[in-house]
Amino acid sequence: MSATTTPIGHATSAPQPAPSHEAQIWDRVDSQIQWYGRNARRSKRNYMRIKLVQIVAAAFIPVLAAASLPSWVLGGLGAGVVVLESVQQLFQFHSNWTQYRTTAEALKHEKFLAQAQAGHYATASNPLALLAERTEGLVSQEHAAWSSEQQQQQPSAQKG
């Protein structure tokens, strides 16, 4: 921290400068890329885990039926497969994975073009403002798609 001297000779601390407007825009782009990337990975892991358990459980049903196990065991495995599919549909891991990955990659694309001053950024009068607009446009688009999907999933009785 640097010190300055007041007219009467007392030392004061100089105020720390606020992050620049440019730094805030780049931070926003980076934080959105990280958020969408992290959530895409999490959704993919959840989706793959559920599908793997479903496949294994479904494959065991005929094997266990041939072994003459009690019907409640087979019914339990079948019910487990249905529950796992219901959880996947409820939380939409597959569609979230693909939507989040698509948004993360589009944001990376915009960041790269802006850094290289290529594409739309090559001729823009204010490339940084254009980056902010395009970043927020992508985030808004993804949010609108997510909101629409959530509304479509609500039961008819809850829509009113």
Task: For residue 122, report the phi and psi dihedrals to the nearest 5 degrees.
Answer: -65, -35
- Say which amino acid occupies 81: V
Burial 115-141 (b: 16+ CB within 10 A, else e): eeeebebeebeebeebbbebbeebbee
The mean pLDDT of the chain is: 87
For 5-33, what is each residue's pLDDT tens digit? 444 555 556 666 556 889 999 999 999 99
Instruction: Report the C-alpha gap between 134 and 138 in whole angstroms.
Output: 6
Query: What pLDDT does residue 143 have?
Result: 84
Predicted TM-score (pTM) of this structure: 0.77
pLDDT category at 134 given cuts 50, 70, 90 is: very high
Confidence of residue 122 (pLDDT cuts 50, 70, 90): very high
Mean pLDDT of 106-114: 97
The pLDDT tens digits of the residues spanning 42-92 come to 999 999 999 999 999 999 999 999 998 899 999 999 999 999 999 999 999
> Residue 2: pLDDT band by 50, 70, 90 thresholds?
very low
Report domain extents, the chain: 23-150
pLDDT at 39: 97
